[in-house]
Amino acid sequence: MNARGPRDAVGIGMTSQRTRSRMVERLREKGIRDERVLAAMGEVPRHLFVDEALASRAYEDTALPIGFSQTISQPYVVARMIESLIGDNGIPARVLEIGTGCGYQAAVLARLAREVYSVERIRALLERARTNLRGLRLSNLRLTHGDGNLGLEAGAPFDAIIVAAAARAVPQALLRQLAQGGRMVLPLKTAQAARGRQRLAVLERGARGITETVLDEVLFVPLETGKL
Ligand code: SAH
Q: 66 in ligand 1 pocket by Cβ < 6 Å?
A: no
Reported as a single tens digit per residue, the pLDDT across 93-136 is: 999 999 999 999 999 999 999 999 999 999 999 999 999 999 99
Report yes or no on 227 lying in a domain. Answer: no
Report yes or no on 141 lying in a domain. Answer: yes
Residues 106 and 144: their CA atoms lie apart, in Å, by: 12
Q: Say how many domains are in the chain.
A: 1
Question: How many whole angstroms from 50 Cα to the centroid of ligand 1?
Answer: 15
Rg of the chain over CA atoms, in angstroms? 17
Report yes or no on 176 lying in a domain. Answer: yes
Question: How many whole angstroms from 223 Cα to the centroid of ligand 1?
Answer: 7
β-pair type (209-218, 64-67): unpaired
Report yes or no on 31 lying in a domain. Answer: yes
Reported pTM: 0.94
Report yes or no on 4 lying in a domain. Answer: no
Of all helices (H) and strands (E), which one includes residue 180? strand 178-188
- C-beta of residue 133 within 8 angstroms of C-beta of residue 46: no
Question: How many whole angstroms from 97 Cα to the centroid of ligand 1?
Answer: 9
Residues 187 and 195: their CA atoms lie apart, in Å, by: 13
Containing domain of residue 88, as a range? 13-218
Residues 40 and 5: their CA atoms lie apart, in Å, by: 24
Secondary structure of residue 17 in the 3-state scheme: helix
Number of H helices, E strands in the chain: 6, 9
Mean pLDDT for all residues in the chain: 93
Task: Give the domain CATH number at 34.
Answer: 3.40.50.150
Of all helices (H) and strands (E), which one includes residue 190? none
Q: 122 in ligand 1 pocket by Cβ < 6 Å?
A: yes
Q: 132 in ligand 1 pocket by Cβ < 6 Å?
A: no
